[in-house]
């Protein structure tokens, strides 16, 4: 337990408000984890998977109304709307608290209130932060056990210090004698995922799914942490962290930001196709970074597990992810085969007859309905990853040599180029996006911008976030030790819509060039958009046929880039006076170089 007076008083006040049947302090033990899962199996909320095929693993189905992030029900509650910025749903903090107190009053009747102390980052790291989540969901507790360092050891480190309070309820109280459902939650328009950056609080009501309920993930690790990082002069980013070792044994760490569906997890666990190169994973989703005593930027993965999307994952596309989830994994909204194994689209095998889909119906191939929800997930311990980096839990973090930005750009953007300087790199991150069509996203054809892949996750005005990146470079202890910044694009297509680059394990060939560019051992070509590779420095051994595509892969079409500038103009208009002068200047310089 704890003697932390602030924590004890907070728990008591929430218990009085939420009125649970009992209050339970989680100790984070393996015994507790198994006990809670066994209870959920007994109640029908979970199914234990086939012990021979998926040892130690469990299966859940969410309510069909509770399957993903709900961005329109996610709020940033700052003192003024301007502080939240155009990209966030804003509500006045006092108004939101009034709504939430009414929602939370009696919301845990008939349920257990679990107290979940957790550390984002290795225990005791100077980059880590401690939170405490109050929840009425055992599903949340077992996922938090995998995704964070959780339980009594966290309270021991916390002592009497401050913590980040996180309150969660599924929003479904039980009357006396009322039978529970397998996945309790509130209706879609009664969900509130609310962040209070200035007081560093999170309140989430009505959803039991993913980052809406596992409050250490996007809520704390990005939305609240990005605000704290701005105040304290560090970075909390939606980035993977990977270690890359060349054949000579030299190792560098890269951090990379991509919008969703651009292959982050695949890149983090990449299997190189060039002999002698090795890629290891520190994290696949979030990076917290601070300057070390030597002036370099050091990164930790604040999470302890992977919470990944599974459809289209197979031994062919990402064998390391498949090996990661072979045991001790929680699966949500995939298919369940008759022998209690799991199945999803793209797994690489035929769907067995009689498989139950994520809506708990026997799959009918003629229906056209998917077996697994497109956002079906796995939760697995990071230490099970076959390519986990030996320093993934180093409290000091790992030194970052390069930042990579990128999106799905079938045209215009070449497959790799380097920023001219730090501010130019920040400019590159600020205009990241993916090309979309009306059919896929319900928006006009064009580029959907997701700056730094942080659009849904920045806890304050994004123009001020850009300024924070600019200031970080300006105030760096040793500017020569700042990571170099690159843009990559594995998704170029020719005029017939055919991929120009093979991708997957062959992306090591681009990473090899970046690795060498960090050491200034390759010559670069100065173009209007940045520094580009010389064709001879891209290693095509074994994929010689791709050589015919290199001219197009590395092309900078001035006409298309001037059209891109018109789109950037529209994008930048959203930020008004909050757009840093440095980025406006970089944009003018780009247009002048293109002309």
Q: Catalytic residue numbers? A: 262
Contacts of 240 (CB under 8 A, 6+ apart): 255, 256, 264, 265, 267, 268, 281, 283, 284, 285, 287
Beta-sheet pairing, 335-336 with 342-343: antiparallel
Structure tokens belonging to residue 15: 């218990």
The strand pair at 524-527 and 484-488 is best described as: unpaired
Q: What are the structure tokens assigned to 395, written together?
A: 């409290």
Residues 17, 58: Cα–Cα separation, whole Å: 33
- Token pair in block for residue 556: 């900078």
Strand pairing partners for 24? 114
Q: Give the strand pairing for 484-488 and 287-291.
A: unpaired
Which residues lie closer than 8 Å to 256 by C-beta, 6 or more apart? 239, 240, 242, 264, 267, 403, 404, 405, 406, 488
DSSP H helices, 81-195, are 81-84, 93-104, 138-147, 152-158
Half-sphere exposure at residue 381, Cβ-oriented, CA atoms within 13 angstroms: 13
Write the DSSP assignment of 177-234 as a string of letters.
TPPPPSS----GGG-EEEEEGGGTEEEEES--SHHHH-TIIIIIIIIIHHHHHHHHT-
d(CA 401, CA 390): 18
Half-sphere exposure of 586 (CA within 13 A, CB side): 24
């Amino acid at each position: 337990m704890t003697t932390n007076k602030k924590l004890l008083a907070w728990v008591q006040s929430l218990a009085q408000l939420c009125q649970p049947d009992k209050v339970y302090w989680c100790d984070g033990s393996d015994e507790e984890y198994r006990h809670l899962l066994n209870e959920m199996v007994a109640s029908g909320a979970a199914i234990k998977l086939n012990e021979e095929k998926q040892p130690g693993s469990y299966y859940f189905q969410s309510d069909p109304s509770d399957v993903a992030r709900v961005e329109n029900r996610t709020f940033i509650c700052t003192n003024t709307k301007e502080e939240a910025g155009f990209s966030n749903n804003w509500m006045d903090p006092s108004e939101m608290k009034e709504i939430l107190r009414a929602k939370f009053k009696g919301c845990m009747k008939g349920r257990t209130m679990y107290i979940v102390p957790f550390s984002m980052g290795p225990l005791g790291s100077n980059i880590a932060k401690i939170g405490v989540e109050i929840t009425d969901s055992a599903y949340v507790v077992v996922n938090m056990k995998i995704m964070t360092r959780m339980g009594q050891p966290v309270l021991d480190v916390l002592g009497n210090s401050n913590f980040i309070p996180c309150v969660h309820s599924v929003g479904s109280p039980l009357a006396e004698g009322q039978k529970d459902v397998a996945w309790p939650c509130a209706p879609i328009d009664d969900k509130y995922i609310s962040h209070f950056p200035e007081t560093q609080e999170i309140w989430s009501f009505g959803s039991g799914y993913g980052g809406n309920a596992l409050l250490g993930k996007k809520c704390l690790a990005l939305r609240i942490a990005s605000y704290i990082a701005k105040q304290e002069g560090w970075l909390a980013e939606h980035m993977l962290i990977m270690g890359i070792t060349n054949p000579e044994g030299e190792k560098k760490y890269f951090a990379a930001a991509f919008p969703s569906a651009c292959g982050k997890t695949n890149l983090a666990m990449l299997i190189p196709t060039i002999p002698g190169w090795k890629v290891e994973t520190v994290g696949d989703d979030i990076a917290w970074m601070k300057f070390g005593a030597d002036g370099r930027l050091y990164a930790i993965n604040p999470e302890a597990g992977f919470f990944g999307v599974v459809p289209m994952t197979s031994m062919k596309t990402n064998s390391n992810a498949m090996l990661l989830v072979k045991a001790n994994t929680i699966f949500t909204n995939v298919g369940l085969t008759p022998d209690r194994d799991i199945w999803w689209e793209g797994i690489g095998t035929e769907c067995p007859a009689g498989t139950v889909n994520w809506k708990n119906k026997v799959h009918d191939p003629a229906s056209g309905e998917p077996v697994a929800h497109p956002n079906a997930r796995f939760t697995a311990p990071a230490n099970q990853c076959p390519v986990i980096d030996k320093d993934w839990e180093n409290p000091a973090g790992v030194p970052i040599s390069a930042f990579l930005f990128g999106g799905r750009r079938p045209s215009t953007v070449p497959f790799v180029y380097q920023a001219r300087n730090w501010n130019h790199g920040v400019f590159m991150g600020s205009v990241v996006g993916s090309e979309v069509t009306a059919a896929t996203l319900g928006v006009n054809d064009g580029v959907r911008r997701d700056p730094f892949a942080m659009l849904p996750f920045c806890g304050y005005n994004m123009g001020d976030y850009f300024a924070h990146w600019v200031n970080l470079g300006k105030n760096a202890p040793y500017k020569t030790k700042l990571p170099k910044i690159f843009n990559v694009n594995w998704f170029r297509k020719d005029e017939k819509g055919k991929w120009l680059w093979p991708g997957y394990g062959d992306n090591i060939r681009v990473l090899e060039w970046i690795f060498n560019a960090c050491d200034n051992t390759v010559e670069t070509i100065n173009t209007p958009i940045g520094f580009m590779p010389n064709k001879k420095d891209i290693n095509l051994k074994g994929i010689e046929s791709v050589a015919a595509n290199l001219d197009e892969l590395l092309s900078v079409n001035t006409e298309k880039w001037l059209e891109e500038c018109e789109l950037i103009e529209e994008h930048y208009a959203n930020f008004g006076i909050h757009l840093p002068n440095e980025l406006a200047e970089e944009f003018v310089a780009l247009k002048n170089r293109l002309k």
